[in-house]
Amino acid sequence: MTAIQTFEINLEHDIDEQYQYEPGEVLRGHVLLKLSQPIKVKAIQVQIKGEATVSWEDENTKNPQTYRADETYIDLTQNLFQAHGESKPVTAGKHRFPMEYSLPANLPSSFIGKFGSITYVVKATLKEDKKFGLSTLITSEPFLVLRKLDLNKEPSLMKPYESVIEKRMWGALAFCVSGKVQVTLKVNKTGHLPGEDIFLDAEISNGSPRIVKAVQASVVMHSTFHAKNNTRYSTQMVNKKRDEWEMSYGEGRRWKGVRLTIPPYIPESRLDGCDIVDIRYDLVFRVDISGGNDIRMVVPITVGTMQDSDGTIDRQSKQIPNGNGEHYTKLEDKRHSDNHSDHTEVNGNVDLTSSEDVHLNDEEHEKFRYPMDHGETRRNPLFGQENC
């Protein structure tokens, strides 16, 4: 029977069973060692490490090359217990070794992307002096860093947005016949919080000989990764709403108060503090027209972080998912009780059956932003939604 029953890291900042911190906060906790019988200990150390890693392989050349870049934000080792000279005995029972560290103020947020990640972890190492030499036991605990991006500091992001596009379409057979498709899009604002709804008003008028087949609105995340003076891009659709129907010449359709939710688990725009990964978001409104003559309207949007009245991140409204895939937030409760309409109209008739939403697998949300071990691979819930 081993003498070591428990060797684990306990951090004090536990929100929904995940450790979340802002840059500049103090990381406090302890290493718990539970013994069934005495042992001799040479040292107990903790390492706090935060780093970004970017990597991809260029397969378009005859000799594939791997591009890689790294940034280290924290790499600190603290001795919680150290025997100078001979090992020291530790009695049976529970022993707590406190730890404390002030996180740097310029840390970027945790992130896992297709070609790179930003991760933070606390690792504890126990060096036990046994009869035949030192035995090493290692345990680790990842934690999240959520950097503050206050949308209130940019008042323009809180203003409504409106755009109108007209596009002339020619007939498929009779090229002398033409007409215009007109699209009007209104968005309540361009700055949003994770878990918040975008409200859309849209009107499509088909005065062309072509058939309008569908309307789709999507939130798209653009990730940029930098390594060795090279850049790799990744685009993922993180949510969408789509109506499919046929609209002929002279027909029109209207979206009124349609909701498109910003997913609760995505990182804020820009990833300030990281030089090798960048993130931006677009709202893409697309009208599918026969013959491939689609109309696309792209509205840049900014995703910020929920703020408390004192300026800190509101963790309870941040919508970090728990292990059951459920989200406990006042924001979501309010959203479901709003009286905003969510419907479409066809020539003045309400159509409640044609809207389609993307619902990502909630069971995958827990692992988003979660640090990975070296060499580990993991499916990001944002991947696989490429059609914007």
pLDDT digits (tens, 9 = 90+) for 129-180: 988 888 999 999 999 998 888 898 899 999 999 999 999 988 766 566 889 9
| Interval 340-365: pLDDT, tens | 334 444 433 333 223 334 434 444 44
Sequence spans of domains, the chain = 4-145, 153-367
Tokens coding 85: 């000279």
Kindly tell me the sign of the dihedral angle through the C-alpha atoms of 300, 303, 308, 313: negative
46 against 229, higher pLDDT: 46
Distance of CA 99 to the CA centre of its chain: 29
Q: How is domain 153-367 classified at the CATH fold level?
A: Immunoglobulin-like (2.60.40)
Note the pLDDT of residue 232.
95
Residue of 211, 194, 204 whose CA lies nearest to 317: 194
Let me know: does 231 contact 224? Beta carbons within 8 Å.
yes
Q: Please state the φ and ψ torsions of residue 298, each to the nearest 5 degrees.
A: -115, 120
Note the pLDDT of residue 217.
97
| Interval 61-74: pLDDT, tens | 777 889 999 999 99
Q: What is the three-class DSSP state of 330?
A: helix
* DSSP line for 181-213: EEEEEEES-SEE-TTPEEEEEEEEEE-SSSPEE
Let me know: does 363 contact 325? Beta carbons within 8 Å.
yes
Q: What is the DSSP letter of 313?
A: B
| Residue 309: CB atoms within 10 Å | 6
Which residues touch 257 (CB under 8 Å, ≥6 apart)?
199, 200, 201, 340, 341, 342, 343
Q: Is the pLDDT of residue 27 over 70?
A: yes
* DSSP line for 38-105: -EEEEEEEEEEEEEEEEEEEE-SSSS-EEEEEEEEEEEEEEEEEE-SSS-EEE-SEEEEEEEEEEPPT
Q: Is the pLDDT of residue 39 over 70?
A: yes
> Mean pLDDT across the chain, nearest whole number?
81
Q: Mean pLDDT highest for which of 126-135, 269-278, 329-338? A: 269-278
Note the pLDDT of residue 307.
60
**What is the rounded distance in angstroms from the CA atom of residue 197 to the CA atom of residue 335?**
8
**What is the rounded distance in angstroms from the CA atom of residue 332 to the CA atom of residue 316?**
11
Note the pLDDT of residue 173.
62
Pick the CATH number of 4-145 from 1.10.357.10, 3.50.50.60, 3.40.50.2300, 2.60.40.640: 2.60.40.640
Q: Please state the φ and ψ torsions of residue 218, each to the nearest 5 degrees.
A: -145, 150
pTM above 0.95, yes or no: no
Which residues touch 92 (CB under 8 Å, ≥6 apart)?
3, 35, 36, 37, 38
| Interval 272-325: pLDDT, tens | 999 999 999 999 999 999 988 899 999 999 999 866 545 555 544 433 322 222
**What is the rounded distance in angstroms from the CA atom of residue 25 to the CA atom of residue 139?**
23
Note the pLDDT of residue 305.
84
Question: Which DSSP helix (H) or strand (E) runs through 154?
Answer: none
Tokens coding 373: 């071990």
Q: Choose the weakest-confidence range: 49-63, 222-236, 319-333.
A: 319-333
Note the pLDDT of residue 62.
76
Note the pLDDT of residue 26.
94
228 against 18, higher pLDDT: 228
C-alpha dist (Å) from residue 184 to 144, 187, 204, 206: 41, 10, 7, 12
Quickly tell me which residue has 């009245």 as its tokens. Answer: 309
| Interval 82-108: pLDDT, tens | 888 789 999 999 999 999 999 999 999
130 against 181, higher pLDDT: 181
Residue of 322, 358, 279, 359 whose CA lies nearest to 114: 279
Note the pLDDT of residue 324.
28
Strands 116-130 and 133-142, sheet pairing: antiparallel
Q: Choose the weakest-confidence range: 4-18, 172-186, 269-283, 328-342.
A: 328-342
pLDDT, mean of residues 224-252: 93
Note the pLDDT of residue 388.
62
Note the pLDDT of residue 313.
55
Which residues touch 239 (CB under 8 Å, ≥6 apart)?
218, 219, 260, 261, 262, 263, 357, 358, 360
| Interval 214-227: pLDDT, tens | 999 999 999 999 99
